[in-house]
């Protein structure tokens, strides 16, 4: 069963699903440390429900890098997967396409 607190948006669910699916054969618990809660920089995608933070503490770096690559591949170019010290920040952030 999956339970979702009020305020969780579809983009956050897409991120969470990609994170879980990328971890199917890896041996660590995925911990979401922030969604729309907490204090973030002005304009943060957290406030619109388009970003999640994931704990990195205690995860071996090789495993974490593999997981990070898998998540990025699953989500595609409209999502950013950014290592920020003690966590990985993942957000929906499509880049404008050049006009040809």
Query: Would residue 100 count as lying in a domain?
Result: no
Q: What pLDDT is recorded for position 46?
A: 82
Mean pLDDT, 10 residues at a time, the chain of 100 residues: 68 91 90 84 84 92 95 94 92 82
Q: What pLDDT is recorded for position 70?
A: 96
Helix (H) or strand (E) holding 88: strand 87-92
Query: Would residue 46 count as lying in a domain?
Result: yes
Quick one: tokens of 10? 């579809």
Sort strands 32-34 and 87-92 into parallel, antiparallel or unpaired. unpaired
Query: Would residue 54 count as lying in a domain?
Result: yes
Distance CA 22, CA 5 (A): 23
Backbone angles phi, psi at 88, to 5 degrees: -110, 125
Distance CA 91, CA 77 (A): 11
> CB–CB of 87/56 below 8 Å?
yes
Number of domains in the chain: 1
- CATH number, domain at 22? 3.30.1380.10
């Amino acid at each position: 069963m999956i339970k979702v607190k009020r305020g969780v948006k579809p983009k956050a669910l897409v991120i969470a699903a990609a994170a879980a699916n990328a971890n199917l054969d890896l041996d660590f618990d995925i911990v979401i440390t922030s969604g729309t809660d907490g204090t973030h920089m002005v304009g943060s995608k957290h406030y619109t429900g388009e970003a999640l933070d994931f704990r990195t503490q205690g995860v071996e770096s090789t495993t974490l890098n593999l997981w990070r690559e898998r998540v990025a591949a699953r989500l595609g170019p409209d999502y950013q997967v950014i290592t920020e010290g003690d966590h990985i920040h993942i957000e929906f952030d499509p880049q404008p396409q050049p006009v040809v």
